[in-house]
Chains A and B, each alone.
Chain A
Amino acid sequence: MTTTATTRIAARLVDATKIYGEGTAAVTALDGVDLAFEGARFTAIMGPSGSGKSTLLHCVAGLDVLTSGEAYLGDTALGSLSDRALTLLRRERVGFVFQAFNLIPTLTAAENILLPLLIARRAPDRAWFDHIVDTLGLGHRLDHRPAELSGGERQRVAAARALVTRPEIVFADEPSGNLDSRSGAELLGFLRRAVDDFGQTIVMVTHDPAAAAYADRVVFLDDGRVVDELEGPTAERILDRMKSLGG
């Protein structure tokens, strides 16, 4: 692995295997994955459809449990945690941005951003909230409900929500998948800045080489295995690598 001794490991998978179903219907979504995500870095996960990207993300984020192996968030092994402990861990230490349906339709943008704090009954850090909202350009949208927001705005609200608790790590599953290229670029630029300016750790699943190019590192998955990775990627290099993997 390309980690240096000084880099903190934010999350990692050790011999992680996930099998869905049983017997002849069993599908191996993850097949002995060893992978670590360094702190304060932006990692992209790529791979063909069905290669296990979402499964990997869910297992390391405490949304799903591995069949064997172990997932760690920081130093916490997730395998032995109860549903309650996993929920609290997600609430306190993890941020999420999904591809779609990120927001509660009945709540305003501001309430959606503050939702994890509201659930935890924690007082928000006003300055931090304002800073995120400012950076994302959502100031004039705070009182609107999701139905009144554009797709790009919705994803930015979701990103703000993911960051508001200052989580150890943010997971994003194709956050720009439903956006046009301009909105997508805005969102990805923001995620990039979160890493650069605040030292946020981000792990993002994407199909789009242009999106993956915002990351510091790209991990390639195929058939539930890590097949390759790339440091300091550009869109061209990613495309090249994808071609070579596909071929």
Chain B
Amino acid sequence: MLRVALTGLRANKLRVALTGVAIVVGVAFVTASFVFTDTIEARFERLFSEAARGVDVVVRPVRPEFTTGDPTEIGAFDASVLEIVRAVSGVAKAEGGVSGFAQLVDHDGNPIGGQGPPTLGFAWIDDPDLNPMEIRPGNGRAPLAADEIVVDSATASRHGLALGDEVTVITPQGLGRYRIVGIADFGEEESLAGATVTGFRLDEARRRFGLEGRFSEISVVAEPGVPPADLVAALEAILPDGVEAVTAEQATAEQLAEIADALGFLNVALLAFAGVAVFVGAFLIANTFRIIVAQRTRELALYRTIGATAAQVTRLVLVEAVAVAVVAAAVGIVGGVLLSEGLTTAMDALGFAIPDGPLTLRARTVVVGFAVGTIVTAAAALLPARRAGRIPPVAALRLDAVRPPRRSLRDRAQGGGALAAVGVALLGIGLFAGPPNPLAFVGLGAATLFVGIAVLGPFAVGPLTRALGWPLVRWFGAAGLLARENTRREPRRTAATASALMVGVALVVFVAILAASTKATVRASVLETFGADFTITSANFSAGIPRIVVEELAALPELDVVSAVVFDVAGVGDDTARLVAVDPKTIDGLVDLGTSGEVLARLATTPDGVAVAEPLAEREGVGIGDTITLAFPQLPDFPGRVVGIVESSDLGELVVTRATYDRGYLNRFDSMVLARAAGDLAEARRAVEAVVDPYANLRVQTKDEVVADAERQIDQLLALVTGLLFLAVVVAILGITNTLALSIIERTREIGLLRAVGMLRGQVRRMIRWEAVLIALFGALSGIATGILLGWAVVAALRDQGLRSFAVPTGQLAVLVAVAVIAGIVSAVYPGRRAARLDVLEAIAYE
């Protein structure tokens, strides 16, 4: 039986190849996702253990649970701890370090790095055993004077920094000019995961980060024979509160986990796209096999007449499907490896330096790739295979094609309706009931809904193609009429062919709606919230606005009011809350934090005053005059006096003064400076630009520019996601090509007849083309409808999270319809050419 199945495959190379493409794409994404994650993990593991080589134990501040891991939040402890550590028996060597944010500026005045990996500065440690960096011979020396620095070699080579160059470094203390005296590597690597690293002399680092008399970490080398764990225990016993000791191994593991976390979104994205590709592919596979079975009815019936059981015929089809899947999965795995290689290169280009090394292809990845490929294919081919088994033996004997019995329309309506209902219910639960794993519910719900709609699709084929087809019939005569009728002759096939496109388009529409709604929300919120003429923000994540900038701006006569704001996170009970630190005397009217002037006045006069957003106040059960206990990195139990309950705003749930903030946090960067012009706007702007200009990472924007900037970022993300989703659309187009090519084989005689009675080749091609366009339009329109439904549901569910506007990007939908038409035309090229080339005589020859 296997041989029979494989013969069937060989006879249909094209359709096998087309079916396989869907599996290849899906498996490639799955594989890439695993290979990429494994590779990153393996490479960083090597990098970090290399960097920590020689160090056995790390002494560090206890990091509050709510912090995000920024270096400024790691905190610091008194320098005296170093002497305590050194006195512990078993400690061979110990050296203190200091670290914080340091933004390097290149020779053209542009900030270096900071879009992804951080820009770090730290105190250079002279003992090579305790310093993860090393200056190779010929690369200079360690910093000896306060104005000397060492930079990492990747940054140096990428930005043309050389020994002896003078560069600007921005830290919370403002600008500083330094001379590069050394270029350092991390063991074998040139870069620490793409971070921009600057090494200062210890006293200079402390001054720049405001950590005089303190350390943020101590590296410890154990005496030979002393296990690190024992040393940790010994240190823990005597370390002061707020300082802890961990093994270097554990610290490395934690760093790894952070990297994995930071790149986790990529993994999720890859798996999501894999899911979409596999899901769309499944439709394509099911459809192809359905047609193949229909076409081979007589052959399969013949097997039955010569004694094959129904189960054997079913198995025959399944074996064929699995054989395709195995080959396609193998190709997909190779493709996935290439894809992940491309991905690491792309990440490198974006500035996320991923350490060099081989790709990691684990056996597990290969197994999963094959499993996904074969299981999905077998599952998709199961229904057509079962139908093949139901073909009665008499079908072999009858002249007219006997179709195996089909489920009744009522069953289909009920089944499809039930599936769609279950899908909607799952979506509803995921979106509105707040289950522990909402994404899973939403994903499963959407998938079920898609299947339900695909099952119900045939009912819509009649009316929809009639409506869409009339211009064809009107303008394109016989070709148009036949195209329309061809899509209607087998509504199931048309719907099934279109369903892959439906899924792809629905997802594109869904993402577009989400993006449009977010943009509308951002616009409304920025325009409502900001009263300032200008905002000054940092263009990258890691460095902020040094305090001196605010002071200089405040001194400008062109500006009426200047106020600085810091956004951060504080602990509240077991949870976290977004915190805004403001200057209550100047902030009023510049930005709407939900606070009234009265509340701000109380904030200014009440020591430890806090304004709390209404939902948070309700959750914590506090009112005006009560005390709310907050956790700040430097003040784990801060007793906040509630001076006002304010409307919740998009910016934060807790409002404190900057004075309070400075007590609770080490960070001295401001997040945003707001300013109002005294007179002429353009003049004021010039003055502001003049102050801000030396700070390469800072930018001045009006409200409109803030909106435009946010919109641009959303659009970029949208373009990326849409680009990937278009892969699903490409798979769907292949599906249409496949179906048409197969149905042309089926319609050989019909086309021959048309040619005999006078249809030109061009007309035949046009007929096939319009048929494809109708199918594509059917898929696109049902996809748009489904996508709008999904988008509306998700936007409605996210209303509480601040997504207040629902916007349908009609322009983009129109483009999508146009794309569908073009896709239809493209997918018809090959089948149309085949149909036009059919030999008239062969086609009408009667067996």
Contacts and interface: CB of A to CB of B under 8 A. Distances in A.
Interface of A: 58, 63-64, 83-84, 87-88, 90-92, 96, 98-107, 111, 115-116, 118-121, 161
A61 to B, nearest CB: 8
A107 B753 CA distance: 13
B756 A119 contact: no
Interface in B441-490: 477-478, 481-482, 485-486, 488-489
For the complex of A and B, the 9 pairs showing the least CB-CB separation, nearest first, are: A91-B758, A106-B485, A118-B478, A119-B478, A121-B477, A106-B489, A90-B758, A119-B759, A116-B757
Given A87-B758, A91-B758, A105-B750, A119 B485 contact: no
B841 A119 contact: no
A87 B749 contact: no
Interface of B: 477-478, 481-482, 485-486, 488-489, 749-750, 753-761, 763, 840-841, 844, 846
B761 A83 contact: yes
Contact of B482 (A87, A96, A107, A116): A107
Contacts of A58: 841
A115 B841 contact: no
B758 A107 contact: no
B481 A101 contact: no
A79 B551 CA distance: 96
12 contacts: A84-B761, A88-B760, A91-B759, A98-B753, A102-B753, A104-B753, A104-B754, A106-B482, A115-B478, A119-B763, A120-B758, A121-B478
Contacts of A63: 756, 840-841, 844
A98 B482 CA distance: 21
A63 B838 CA distance: 13
A243 B258 CA distance: 98
A98 B846 contact: yes
Contacts of B841: 58, 63-64
Given A87-B759, A118-B478, 12 more contacts: A64-B841, A83-B761, A91-B757, A92-B758, A99-B846, A100-B846, A101-B753, A101-B844, A104-B485, A107-B482, A115-B757, A118-B481
Task: Tell me the interface secondary structure of chain B in the complex.
Answer: helix
A115 B478 CA distance: 7
B533 to A, nearest CB: 66
B750 to A, nearest CB: 6
A241 B477 CA distance: 49
Contacts of A120: 758
Contacts of B478: 115, 118-119, 121
Contacts of A118: 477-478, 481
A161 B756 contact: no
Pick from B485, B755, B844 the residue with the most CB of A within 10 Å.
B844
Contacts of B489: 105-106
B757 A101 contact: no
Contacts of B759: 87, 91, 119
A121 B479 CA distance: 10
B753 A119 contact: no
Nearest to A61: B756
Contact of B760 (A87, A103, A115, A161): A87
B477 A96 contact: no
B481 A96 contact: no
Contacts of B750: 101, 104-105
| Residue of B488, B753, B841 with highest tally of chain A CB at under 10 A | B753
Contacts of A103: 753
A98 B754 CA distance: 13
A90 B759 CA distance: 9
A101 B756 contact: no
Nearest to B759: A119
Nearest to B484: A106
A161 B758 CA distance: 12
Contacts of A102: 753
A154 to B, nearest CB: 12
Given A58-B841, A104-B750, A118-B478, A87 B485 contact: no
B847 to A, nearest CB: 10
Contacts of B846: 98-101
Contacts of A111: 481
Nearest to B752: A101
Interface centre among A64, A96, A100, A115 (most CB of B within 10 A): A115
A21 to B, nearest CB: 14
Nearest to A121: B477
A88 B758 contact: yes
A90 B761 CA distance: 13
B840 A119 contact: no
Nearest to A120: B758
A3 B488 CA distance: 51
Contacts of A116: 757-758
Contacts of A101: 749-750, 753, 844, 846
A195 B199 CA distance: 106
Nearest to A89: B758
B763 A96 contact: no
A87 B760 CA distance: 6
A87 B763 CA distance: 11
A87 B477 CA distance: 17
B749 A96 contact: no
Contact of B477 (A83, A90, A119, A161): A119
Contacts of A106: 482, 485-486, 488-489
A98 B841 CA distance: 12
